[in-house]
Structures are given as C-alpha cells and as structure tokens.
Structure 1
C-alpha cells in the first residue's frame, strides 16, 4: 500500500472543530488500514473510506469552508484535486465493472458444474478478458502521480482541508488498487492466490469430478460469490461517496 504523510500534530486550536474531527477520522483509518487484499480487509477499507467521505462532505458543506474554497478557484492545488477526484470516480466505476464481470463468471462456472458441461469456453474467455482489463489498468496506474502543488499558507484551516483531501485521495487510490489486485492474476503471491487462479482449479476438477466433489466445488464457488458480493456493495457505497465529494467540491467552488 502507499505511504502517507499526514501531520501527526493536531491542527491549531482555532481550527474549525469539524476539521479536527475529520483529521482524527483520517488518522484512525491510516493507522488501522491493512495492506492485505483479503476480502475482509478490502471490505473493511472500503467501508472506512465511505465513512471518511461522509465526514469530508459535511466539512465541505460548511458555509465558512465553502467561502474559503471559492476564493481558491483556479489555483493549481484546487485544479489537481478536481482532476484527482474525477480519476478516482472513473477508477471506482471501472472496479465496479470488473467485480460485476467476475461475479458473472462465477455464476457461469456454477452453471457449468451443475449441467456437467465439458464446454467451459465461455467462462475461460470471460476470465481472460477480465484479467486483461485489470492488468492493463494496473499498468496505467503506475503513472499515477500524487498531487504536488503547494497548499495555501495564508489560511491554516484551508491548508488543513487541502491536506485532508490530498491524503484521502491517496487512500482512495491505494484501496481501489488493492481491490483490482485481489481480482486479478497480477497477485502472484504464493500465499494469496487471485480469484482467477482459484477458479482455474475448479475448471480442472469439474471436468473429472464426481457428484460429491461437484457439491464441494459449488459450495466453494457460492462462498466466493458471496465474497464478491460484499466487495461489490462496498464499491457501490464508495462510488456514491466519491461522487458526493466531487459534487460538494464543485458546488463550493461555484459559490
């Protein structure tokens, strides 16, 4: 996962109390965030990010914050935040699409096992397509650069808000990348196999398995489908939160 550099010291005592609340929430998320790509860790990180964005939306909608942000319209750091928020919305949308395809592939394989079908070409083709999509996206993400424009020095609250937004963007990016890794063959760890490599085992065994083994495979596939469903729900919630944050930021700048 990415390394973050949020200030460890508290914001000035005169800072808006909502800023302090969101900073505390961000620090807790950073401290508790797990680098694992297991379903439990990924879902926990997605849920925490959604809650963080709720706090950020409440912060941005404060009248005093909207006024401060509106005065910064056109500044480099604001433009970078807007560009980054759009990239994150697109990345989260792509992740939702990949999860949907993955779930469909699982269901296709389940159907094949139930029918005792030897032809699983549709499943193999769909997983190959998914892996190609994800691997291409992961390669493109290597060119992702964290925002580097200087934050305003004249207003400590505004600088704090900018830091929060930048740190949250980095967290969003890192967690979404972990979702894609969990769903792709790019995760070549010997200790953690990707969904695709796991399902390849089912493909091999389903052709020669007996009824008892088929039932075991179906149970394992159903469990995997439920895990995918959890990730899908987490992505849906985060996607809505990312859109709300972007809309809140755009509204603030339009004042």
Structure 2
C-alpha cells in the first residue's frame, strides 16, 4: 500500500503552485457558447478553485462534495451531446477514461465503507466516555487511528489520476480533453476531501482525547473515582464529529450515484461504437 499521508496538508495557493499539483487544461471547445459546455467548464473551474483554497472544516468538505456532484451532473449532460458521443466513439482512449471512472467509483465505495467504520468507532468512544470504560476507549481510539491511516492511503491512490497527461490526445479531440479534465479535477478534489475527513477525525482524537483516555484508565483502577463526570469537552467534540460524518456520508452517497451514472453513460457510448 502507498505510504500514509500526514494528518493535514498544505495545498497550493499561487498559480505556479497550482500547476505543480495538477495540470489545468484549456478546455475550450469550438461551440463553447453551448450552455451545456459552458456549464461544465464553469463547474470544473469551481471545483478547482475549491480544492486549492482549503479550510479543513466539515462545511467546507461537504461544499466540495456538492460541487463535485454538480460537476458530474454537468458531465452527464455533456455526454449526451451528439458531438461528444461521436468523438468518444472514434477514440481509442475512451477505454482509459472508463477505467479511471471505475476507479473513482471504487474509491468512493471504499471511502463510504471507512466512513461507516468511523461512525461506529465514534459511537463506541462516546459510550466508553459515558460509562468511563478506559479499556473500550483505548480500543475504539486505536480503531479510529487505523481508519484514518487507511483513508490517507486511499487518498494517495488518486495521485496518478491527478495528472492529466496520461492520455495522448489528438488536436481535434476537444470533447475527450474536457472529459479528462473533469476526471482529473474530480481526482484532485477527492484526494483533498479524503484527507480533510481524516484531519477532522484526527482532531477529535487529539491530545485532549488522549488525556481523557488516560484519565479513564486511572478510573478503572481507582474505584473511588468511578462516579466522576465524563469529560464533557471530549464528548462534545465526538458528538460534533458524529454530525459532521453524517453530513459527509450523505453528500458522498449522492456523489457516488453521479459517478456511477457518468460511467454508465461512457460505457453506453463505448458499446455503441462496436
């Protein structure tokens, strides 16, 4: 597996740094006045702007997922254009596009699985805090840290897809170029999302949470302290994380459906050329 990411990441902010992170193509098409094409170009630019201006809040992550979803809704409309379908039917590179779309679907399927595990860990940690169960607290915290590491490794899988130069595009394949730009942008933004979720989870299991766990371990030994109140601050942070995870899960499920629809449209275009 790829090495894990750190809990946070500094994303590029200057134009030169942006170019170093992912290649931004010129996606102008001959009939760029077409509203469907203009909308897709606008959605791509919006997602790129979001991904290069990190805030690392749950609201920011949800907003990013919504924007990626809008991008793929626009991509779905673009794939219905006859000019787009004709170009993709004649392109030998469409198979690579299909593979990339499948990988996006697989990544988000795994991401939702990790989100489910994080929800379970969070619920167990809240229960352990209320019951002052140091053993359960330690076990749940280890599970959460393991999920954070796996999520960072999953995010690293987007690295190849964030490079938009792995296809040899002919000068007249502008439709294919804009599809690849949409996929490239989705990969870069998704990597940012996955790392952002890991950072949110890590914040809930930070030094204060570790201190609370140590306190609970002491309670397990000193029976005279068992009635001590639970760590209110830590519990509030876990409850906040639970709500954040729920919002992120809902937006991710919607995005996964859009990704599946985009790939089905591409697959239909591919099979119609046989």
Tell me which interval the TM-score lies in, with the shorter structure as reference length.
0.7 to 0.9
CA distance in 2 between counterparts of 1:13 and 1:136 reads 41
Higher relative contact order (CA 8 A, sep 6+): 1
- Is residue 91 of structure 1 aligned with residue 142 of structure 2? no
Q: Which runs of 5+ in 2 are unaligned?
A: 1-10, 12-20, 217-227
Instruction: For 1:1-255, list aligned pairs within 5 A.
Output: 1=11, 2-7=21-26, 10-13=28-31, 16-33=34-51, 34-72=53-91, 75=92, 77-120=93-136, 121-142=138-159, 144=161, 145-154=163-172, 158-159=173-174, 161-184=175-198, 194-200=200-206, 201-205=208-212, 208=215, 210-211=228-229, 214-255=231-272
CA distance in 1 between counterparts of 2:142 and 2:134 reads 15
* TM-score (norm. length: structure 2): 0.76
Tell me by how many angstroms 1:112 deviates. Answer: 0.5
* TM-score (norm. length: structure 1): 0.81
How many pairs align?
A: 238
Tell me by how many angstroms 1:22 deviates. Answer: 1.5
Q: Which runs of 5+ in 1 are unaligned?
A: 185-192
Tell me by how many angstroms 1:16 deviates. Answer: 4.5
CA distance in 2 between counterparts of 1:207 and 1:226 reads 25
Residues 67, 13 of structure 1: alpha-carbon distance in 2 compared, 3 angstrom cutoff: closer
Tell me by how many angstroms 1:126 deviates. Answer: 1.2
Residues 136, 51 of structure 1: alpha-carbon distance in 2 compared, 3 angstrom cutoff: closer
CA deviations on 1:188-218 (whole Å, 9 max, x unpaired) are xxxxx5523532432422553742x533332
Tell me by how many angstroms 1:124 deviates. Answer: 2.7
Between 1:171-180 and 1:196-205, the stretch displaced more is 196-205
Tell me by how many angstroms 1:235 deviates. Answer: 1.2
